[in-house]
């Protein structure tokens, strides 16, 4: 296997949480990269909270597609064979009903209590939280894809979120370019490390308290 690093590594590892046939909701941005790294034999159905199941990515240049079929970011998307569209009432009904196997989101902040802040930054205009609040509450598994620190080098995995919360105590896993962290009843457990990364590096770049097991697995 060629070396995988950075955001590609985050997407590669996150895609390993999916099982064949899962209904998966992928947030805007980095989460969409998971489709490039699906394991062999794993086929997932992509949901968008604005009313579709079976999104199949952006059309190629010159390829016809229905302009009314869009993803959560408003980008025109293809619809796979067997896909379907429906109203928002139906969409949020199945999301709130627990039928989404996994939702994958980015984060501005996530903390050791499993709280997530990913929809508003003070001083910047936000269109709204979209369906994120419903998705993290209704999905069976909540996966957070994030770079471990922000552009200034500040930790994004905190003791306590400072930004407005998207959800409280709903995060299951945090996947960064350094490691995989599992939120358990006991706290945040460092389960896997990226190649070449030490537990000391992760600890130094994490504000939250981490539980360090005797044996730590590898992300690859």
The Cα 52–Cα 48 span in angstroms is 5
CA-CA-CA-CA torsion for 116, 90, 48, 151, nearest 10 degrees? -20
Q: How many helices (H) and strands (E) does the chain have?
A: 4, 14
Comparing CA positions, the residue from 84, 85, 124, 109 lying closest to residue 167 is 109
The Cα 198–Cα 93 span in angstroms is 43
In terms of Cβ atoms closer than 10 Å to its own Cβ (0-12, 13-18, 19+), residue 41 is exposed
Choice among 49, 170, 177, 192 that is catalytic:
49
Tell me whether residue 170 is one of the annotated catalytic residues: no
Task: For residue 145, give the 3-state DSSP assignment.
Answer: strand
219: tokens are 């992300």
Residue 78: phi and psi, rounded to 5, are -75, 160
- Hey, which residues are catalytic here? 49
């Amino acid at each position: 296997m060629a070396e995988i690093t950075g955001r590609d590594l985050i997407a590669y590892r996150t895609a390993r949480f999916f099982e064949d046939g899962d209904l998966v909701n992928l947030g805007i941005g980095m989460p969409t990269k998971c489709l490039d790294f699906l394991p062999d034999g794993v086929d997932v159905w992509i949901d968008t909270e604005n009313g579709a199941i079976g999104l199949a990515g952006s059309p190629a240049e010159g390829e016809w597609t229905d302009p009314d079929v869009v993803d959560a970011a408003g980008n025109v998307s293809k619809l796979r064979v067997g896909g379907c569209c429906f109203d928002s009432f139906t969409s949020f009904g199945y999301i709130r009903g627990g039928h989404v196997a996994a939702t994958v989101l980015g984060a501005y902040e996530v903390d050791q209590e499993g709280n997530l802040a990913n929809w508003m930054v003070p001083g910047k205009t936000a269109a709204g939280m979209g369906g994120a609040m419903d998705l993290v509450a209704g999905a069976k598994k909540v996966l957070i894809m994030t770079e471990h620190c922000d552009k200034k080098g500040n930790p994004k995995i905190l003791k306590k979120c400072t930004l407005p919360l998207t959800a409280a105590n709903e995060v299951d896993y945090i996947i960064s370019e350094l490691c995989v962290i599992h939120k358990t009843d006991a706290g945040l457990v460092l389960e896997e490390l990226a190649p070449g990364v030490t537990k000391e590096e992760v600890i130094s770049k994490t504000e939250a308290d981490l539980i360090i097991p005797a044996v730590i697995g590898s992300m690859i």
